[in-house]
Amino acid sequence: MSKKENLTSSEKRDSFTSKTGFILACIGSAVGLGNIWLFPYRVGQFGGAAFLIPYIIFIVLLGYTGLMGEFAFGRMSQTGPIGSFKMALETKDKKWGGFLGIIPVFGAFGIAVGYAVVVGWFIRFLVGFITGSAISSADSGAYFGQIAGPFGSTVWHLIALVAVTIVLTSGVSKGIEKMNKIMMPAFYVLFVVLVVKVLTLDGAVDGLKYMVFPEWSSLLSPKTWIYALGQAFFSLSLAGSGMIVYGSYLKRDVDIISSAKNTVIFDTLGAFLAGLIIIPAVFAFGLDPAAGPPLLFITIPSVFKLMPFGRLFGIIFFVSVLFASITSLMNLLEVPIEAVQSTFKLSRKLSVAIVVIAAFLIGLFVENGDVLGSWMDFVSIYIIPLGAFIAAVMFFWVIGIEKAKSEIECGSEKKLGKLFEISAKYVFVFLTIFVLIAGILLGGIG
């Protein structure tokens, strides 16, 4: 066997080819359903523009601590959560770190299962707008009801997973990086087009007021702060999984501090643009903004039915939300794929096949809209913050804050101060536990 053939895929680790590619992939992970179907609703629920204050405080704080931590942890270990936690605990002569790593892998896989179903719905709606069926149906609720019934979207769900499989089997640089470089800029351009269109509709001003008028008194309610924290947390994909895995494909000369900063800025921008489209559009036609699936799949299609050139704008809308969600799905699936690939030393193709087939089979049972809601709640309330908590403890405490700090600084001209140490080691770790407990008590905050 030649030397080249000797290098199996597990030995040759794929990587992002540029800082921009890495940042776009991280933005692709961060901008997803959290930004589109939750953020606009939360803004309305908790005091309009006033909500942005705690949201921005938390997203900056989380970006400065947890997000940089996950990137650097992955880059240091050159592997996902299983290998990273194992490496961390081995420095203390403990061998069971790998088992703990299974928790965030299941968290990412669990969210991926539900996401794949929703991406299938987006494809279904995109096709529905292209053919006109989504616009000619008399009752948008009934139209969606059919799709979100038990086994109601199997074909679309399958199409979503086949599309992602093609990207993921091509690897990190040729698949994930390339697609994010196309889809994320396109997402922003299309969203800006939609904002311009929506804000010129009669009556959009009321919605705009709802989005930007601050109701300061809501800042006195602890719930505003708790939900802003949960929103920022989920939106940055802090789960001890996806961002560690993307970090593991990062070269040592890439500036993690500025990458985290860009991810925070563009994630917030994505959420804000979504709010500027959805809320004014819904108000312009006298509809009620809802949260979750009904907003995107019943209310918004009703808006496009009433809008001039609604079919065209419906197509633009569903292309952009499809891009936003499919790039998150890639990140979520990459976590179990990397885990299977490096734990069992399997080829990339086989690992992708195992994970995608499992996601599809389990996903068949969550195609029903109600089951999907409970499934996503369970994973995002219990497993996601737990994964983020364990990752933070492993990196900031077990590996140690000094080492963590120098790992983050590697590749950057900036140095982190004492404030970072306190924020990461105490504040961030406390917030992960807080998100877990508040989520359980309030039935989900992110």
What is the per-residue binding string for ligand PHE in 90-129, x denoting contact by CB under 6 A?
------------------x--x------------------
Question: Does residue 169 interact with ligand PHE by CB under 6 A?
Answer: no
Question: Does residue 34 interact with ligand PHE by CB under 6 A?
Answer: yes
Token pair, residue 39, equals 């953020």
**Which residue, 320 or 331, has its beta carbon nearer to ligand PHE?**
331
Select the residue interacting with ligand PHE from 23, 33, 321, 346 (CB under 6 A).
Answer: 33
What is the per-residue binding string for ligand PHE in 36-75, x denoting contact by CB under 6 A?
----------------------------------------
State in angstroms the smallest separation of the CB of 272 from ligand PHE: 13
What is the per-residue binding string for ligand PHE in 296-335, x denoting contact by CB under 6 A?
--------------------------------x--xx---
What is the per-residue binding string for ligand PHE in 241-280, x denoting contact by CB under 6 A?
-x--------------------------------------
93: left (phi over 0), alpha (psi -120 to 50) or beta: left
Q: How many residues bind ligand PHE (CB under 6 A)?
A: 16
Window contacting ligand PHE (CB under 6 A); options: 32-40, 44-52, 206-214, 367-375: 32-40
CB-hemisphere CA count at 13 Å for 243? 34
Select the residue interacting with ligand PHE from 16, 22, 23, 35 (CB under 6 A).
Answer: 35
**Which residue, 199 or 290, has its beta carbon nearer to ligand PHE?**
290
Question: Does residue 429 interact with ligand PHE by CB under 6 A?
Answer: no
**Which residue, 89 or 108, has its beta carbon nearer to ligand PHE?**
108
Select the residue interacting with ligand PHE from 21, 32, 110, 363 (CB under 6 A).
Answer: 32
Question: Does residue 436 interact with ligand PHE by CB under 6 A?
Answer: no
Window contacting ligand PHE (CB under 6 A); options: 175-183, 230-238, 415-423, 429-437: 230-238
Question: Does residue 148 interact with ligand PHE by CB under 6 A?
Answer: no
Angle at the Cα of 445 from the Cα atoms of 443 and 446, rounded to 5 degrees: 125
3-state secondary structure the chain: CCHHHHCCCCCCCCCCCCHHHHHHHHHHHHCCHHHHHHHHHHHHHCCEHHHHHHHHHHHHHHHHHHHHHHHHHHHHHCCCHHHHHHHHHHCCCCCCHHHHHHHHHHHHHHHHHHHHHHHHHHHHHHHHHHHCHHHHCCCHHHHHHHHCCCCCCHHHHHHHHHHHHHHHHCCHHHHHHHHHHHHHHHHHHHHHHHHHHHHCCCCHHHHHHHHHCECHHHHHCHHHHHHHHHHHHHHCCCCCCHHHHHHHCCCCCCCHHHHHHHHHHHHHHHHHHHHHHHHHHHHHCCCCCCCCHHHHHHHHHHHHHHCCCHHHHHHHHHHHHHHHHHHHHHHHHHHHHHHHHHHHCCCHHHHHHHHHHHHHHHHHHHCCHHHHHHHHHHHHHHHHHHHHHHHHHHHHHHHHHHHHHHHHHCCCCCCCCHHHHHHHHHHHHHHHHHHHHHHHHHCCCC
Question: Does residue 235 interact with ligand PHE by CB under 6 A?
Answer: yes
Q: Which residue matches tokens 């949260």?
A: 291
Select the residue interacting with ligand PHE from 15, 22, 27, 29 (CB under 6 A).
Answer: 29
**Which residue, 224 or 325, has its beta carbon nearer to ligand PHE?**
325
Question: Does residue 234 interact with ligand PHE by CB under 6 A?
Answer: yes
State in angstroms the smallest separation of the CB of 108 from ligand PHE: 6
Amino acid in position 270: G
User: How many Å apart are CA 380 and CA 393, to the nearest integer?
Assistant: 19
Window contacting ligand PHE (CB under 6 A); options: 232-240, 255-263, 355-363, 407-415: 232-240
Restricted to residues 356-395, the positions that interact with ligand PHE (CB under 6 A) are none
**Which residue, 29 or 423, has its beta carbon nearer to ligand PHE?**
29
Given the rule CB under 6 A, which residues bind ligand PHE? 29-30, 32-35, 108, 111, 234-235, 237, 239, 242, 328, 331-332
